[in-house]
């Protein structure tokens, strides 16, 4: 049995510390990184680093720190630990067998102190090298790729556009190829690849950013926002050449029917309507600002040029609002927002999406 030492103002630890202690970890018993000025460990266990090398590690029975320890073969395990502790002049909390380590569980990046067996049972990531949840970054384990610079700040903005090129299977990839072949190819022939490429990427980034705000704990891939941005391009084209079409209302009705049908599909589980809505909005604004237009008279030309500038400013303002909602004032509390992306037609219809709008801490003690 180990002894739990609780430091306080009345019974302070080494160096007057009141935060701690931690079983098997103490700044005075860590050689690397050592707690020496000006790099002393703070009096806050949540800010302690991982001790890579401890002072007083017993390399083999009978030796510790290069000295001989009087250990007899007939000693009990508890007696052996007591002798080692006495020889090393260690505190009680440094002589304990630690079997609980930080375990990162689930897509939320939750951290629990568990055994290796339990962590393997829940398919978690077991951190053998750490003693506290504050010493690990579970989001790094969940997300992979480049580590987070600050565990409490989402600083991997590049994921908003790299996810546009990832797909959740061959069927998902096939849908993207079909849309690009039958819709995007004709738009590129008409307006050029630079304009359409800008609309495609910006619509997708805006859609992913909106998804990260309103459904923050769901892993998503694919260019859903970009595809709805292309759909918005078709609306703008019909509006721009309205006087030149024989039946413009028919063309508009067809596009509306397709759009409504795709938005209804977005109410099914694992189909993100936030990417659809914001991708369509940004695609419409960018298309009106970037696509070439035909003017019918000086007044119509001035009106369309004014609208181009208005829509460019609107794009910048909307994107700035999304950035503010994501980085500065996170928008997590919205009970009705989840119904835009999935309507629970029956019990547990949307439960497997694991949507949670409560901000979870990145570490816990």
Q: Are 350 and 338 in contact (CB under 8 A)?
A: yes
Residue 279 buriedness (CB in 10 A; 0-12 / 13-18 / 19+): buried
- pLDDT reported for residue 46: 78
Place of tokens 């028919």: 250
pTM for the predicted model, two decimal places: 0.69
Q: What is the pLDDT of the chain when averaged over all its residues?
A: 77
Cis before residue 350, ω within 30 degrees of 0? no
DSSP H or E stretch at residue 229: helix 224-240
pLDDT band at 286 (very low <50, low <70, confident <90, very high): very high
pLDDT higher at 10 or 158: 158
- pLDDT reported for residue 229: 92
- pLDDT reported for residue 3: 52
- pLDDT reported for residue 82: 62
> Selecting from 1.20.1540, 1.10.1060, 1.25.40, 1.10.10, what CATH number does the domain 159-353 have?
1.20.1540
Q: What are the beta bridge partners of residue 105?
A: 110
- pLDDT reported for residue 14: 61
pLDDT tens per residue across span 59-68 = 334 434 434 4
Place of tokens 């794009």: 315
Place of tokens 């999406």: 353
Domain ranges of the chain: 14-94, 101-143, 159-353
Tokens of 196: 């359409």
Q: Are 136 and 129 in contact (CB under 8 A)?
A: no
Measured CA to CA, the distance from residue 295 to residue 292 in angstroms comes to 10
pLDDT band at 151 (very low <50, low <70, confident <90, very high): low
Mean pLDDT of 139-164: 75
Characterize the bridge pairing of strands 125-126 and 101-105. antiparallel
Residue 75 has pLDDT above 50, yes or no: yes
Q: Are 196 and 287 in contact (CB under 8 A)?
A: no
Residues of the chain with pLDDT > 90, as a percent, come to 15
What is the Rg, in whole angstroms, of the alpha carbon atoms belonging to the chain? 30
Nearest to 327 by CA among 155, 149, 211: 155
pLDDT band at 198 (very low <50, low <70, confident <90, very high): very high
Mean pLDDT of 173-185: 89
Q: Which residues of 166-181 are buried (b: 16+ CB within 10 A; e: fewer)?
A: ebeeeeeeeebeebbe
Measured CA to CA, the distance from residue 261 to residue 74 in angstroms comes to 79
């Amino acid at each position: 049995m180990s002894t739990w030492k609780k430091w306080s103002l009345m019974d302070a630890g080494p160096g007057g510390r009141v935060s701690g202690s931690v079983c098997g970890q103490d700044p005075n018993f860590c050689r690397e990184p050592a707690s020496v000025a000006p790099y002393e460990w703070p009096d806050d266990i949540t800010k302690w680093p991982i001790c890579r090398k401890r002072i007083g590690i017993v390399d083999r029975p009978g030796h510790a720190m290069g000295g001989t320890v009087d250990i007899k073969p007939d000693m009990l395990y508890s007696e052996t630990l007591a002798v080692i502790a006495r020889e090393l002049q260690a505190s009680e909390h440094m002589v304990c067998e630690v079997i609980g380590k930080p375990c990162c569980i689930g897509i939320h990046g939750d951290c629990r102190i568990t055994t290796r067996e339990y962590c393997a049972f829940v398919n978690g990531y077991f951190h053998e090298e750490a003693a506290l949840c504050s010493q690990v970054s579970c989001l790094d384990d969940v997300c992979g790729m480049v580590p987070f610079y600050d565990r409490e700040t989402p600083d991997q903005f590049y994921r908003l556009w790299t996810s546009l090129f990832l797909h959740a299977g061959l069927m998902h990839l096939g849908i993207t190829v079909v849309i690009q072949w039958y819709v995007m190819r004709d738009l590129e022939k008409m307006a050029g690849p630079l304009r359409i490429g800008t609309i495609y990427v910006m619509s997708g980034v805006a859609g992913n950013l909106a998804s990260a705000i309103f459904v923050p704990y769901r892993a998503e891939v694919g260019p859903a926002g970009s595809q709805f941005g292309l759909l918005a391009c078709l609306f703008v084209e019909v509006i721009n050449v309205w006087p030149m079409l024989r039946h413009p209302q028919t063309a508009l009705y067809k596009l509306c029917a397709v759009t409504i049908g795709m938005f209804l599909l977005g109410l099914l589980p694992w189909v993100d309507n936030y990417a659809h809505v914001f991708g369509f909005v940004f695609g419409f604004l960018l298309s009106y600002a970037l696509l070439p237009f035909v003017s019918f008279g000086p007044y119509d030309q001035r009106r369309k040029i004014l609208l181009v500038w208005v829509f460019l400013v609107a794009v910048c303002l909307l994107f700035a609002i999304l950035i503010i909602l994501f980085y500065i004032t996170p928008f997590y509390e919205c009970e009705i927002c989840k119904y835009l992306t999935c309507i629970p037609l029956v019990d547990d219809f949307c439960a497997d999406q694991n949507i949670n709008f409560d901000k979870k801490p990145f570490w816990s003690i």
